[in-house]
Amino acid sequence: MTESIVVERNEGVVTCTLNRPEKKNAIDQAMWRELVELCDAVETNPADRVVVFTGAGDGFCSGADLTPGGSAGPSPVSPGGLGGGLAGMRQVGRTALRLHQLTKPTIAAVNGVAAGAGCNLALGCDLIYASDRARFSEIFTRRGLVVDFGGSWLLPRLVGLHRAKELVFTAEVIDATEADRIGLVNRVVAHDELLDHAHGVAHKLAKLAPNQLAMNKKLLHQSYSVTMAEALEFESVAQAANFSSRDTAEAMMAFIEKREPNFTGE
């Protein structure tokens, strides 16, 4: 990873800090690539259990870097230097999909502005904790653009179709209190306590059975596209597999012995 993304690991928790504070952590070409590389690395490393995304400085992520002459690239209308054409936008889409398909839990610790693709980066995480200084905006229409980085799929599922339309059409900026009220975030915490809170949740998740967390994430993700009967069948298959796993046996034994389980991912 380069300096545009800082990655730290601590007891199964991977903290990814977007590190372009002078640009409110706008995503440039290197960062699109590094986000995919990070997800690939976490997916294949058994020691990595949970990922926390946050931003350096006073912003989470202001979206794709659209500024001319900056590190984003030569085009003033390119998504982070990828070019304004279909190939560039598909790279943006691949990044969003890679985050969505990561089987391990992801947490967004939104410490400031989260706009455009930066807003949808947060929404693409499994849990969203917002500082009381956080602000959110689907800012695309102000730039003559359509919503991207998965926002058209994520936003209606979080806040409902009509509220999603309002946020996208008006491109209004909402504060953390309003984001909490409409169900956009899981919780708002004091700014100085944000990372401690996010890391506290992450470390709790890191101690749980990783395969079972992945199964639960998959079941919930597919819930909008399956029937009740199909969901029940998927649950049955997953649960039957659990009963033959070492981690489930360890959980049962720990319950009987009144101790904390030690999950190994087996």
Question: What is the residue extent of each domain of the chain?
Answer: 5-206, 210-257
pLDDT tens, 189-202? 999 999 999 999 99
pLDDT of residue 69: 42
- Mind listing the pLDDT tens digit for each residue in 210-258? 999 999 999 999 999 999 999 999 999 999 999 999 999 999 999 999 9
- pLDDT over 90 percentage in the chain: 84
What pLDDT does residue 1 have?
46
Task: State mean pLDDT over 29-47.
Answer: 94
| Mean pLDDT of all residues belonging to the chain | 92
| pLDDT exceeds cutoff 50 at 72 | no
Sheet of 187-189, strands arranged across: 5-10, 13-18, 50-55, 106-110, 127-131, 187-189
pLDDT of residue 74: 38
Q: Is 79 left (phi over 0), alpha (psi -120 to 50) or beta?
A: beta
Listed in sequence order, the residues at least 6 apart from 217 whose beta carbon sits closer than 8 Å to its beta carbon are 103, 105, 126
- Check residue 27 and report its DSSP letter: B
Alpha-carbon distance of 60 to 19, in angstroms, equals 9
Confidence bin at 265 (pLDDT 50/70/90): confident
Q: What angle do CA 23, 9, 6 make, to 5 degrees?
A: 20
Q: Within 13 A of 227's CA, how many CA atoms are on the CB side? A: 3
Q: What CATH superfamily classification does 5-206 receive?
A: 2-enoyl-CoA Hydratase; Chain A, domain 1 (3.90.226.10)
Q: Where are the alpha helices (DSSP H) in the chain?
A: 29-44, 86-101, 117-123, 151-159, 161-170, 176-181, 194-206, 210-221, 228-242, 246-257
Q: What HEC string does 49-117 produce? A: CEEEEEECCCEEECCECCCCCCCCCCCCCCCCCCCCCHHHHHHHHHHHHHHHHCCCCEEEEECCEEECH
The answer to whether residue 124 scores a pLDDT higher than 60 is yes
Q: In this structure, what DSSP letter does residue 186 have?
A: S
Q: What is the pLDDT of residue 80?
A: 59
Q: Is the pLDDT of residue 70 over 80?
A: no
Which pLDDT band, with edges at 50, 70 and 90, does 66 fall under? confident
In 10 A of CB 65, how many CB atoms?
A: 24
- 149 vs 266, which has greater pLDDT? 149
Q: Are 65 and 74 in contact (CB under 8 A)?
A: no
Q: Indicate the pairing of strand 187-189 with strand 127-131.
A: parallel
Q: Return the pLDDT at 56.
A: 96
The predicted structure's pLDDT at residue 68: 62
More confident position, 39 or 78: 39
pTM value? 0.91
Predicted confidence at residue 241, as pLDDT, reads 92
Taking only the tens place, the pLDDT of each residue in 153-178 is: 999 999 999 999 999 999 999 999 99
The predicted structure's pLDDT at residue 73: 38
Residue 82: which pLDDT band, with cuts at 50, 70 and 90? Answer: low
Distances (CA, A) of 3 to 6, 17, 58, 65, 118: 6, 10, 17, 16, 18
Half-sphere exposure of 266 (CA within 13 A, CB side): 6
Pairing mode of beta strands 13-18, 5-10: antiparallel
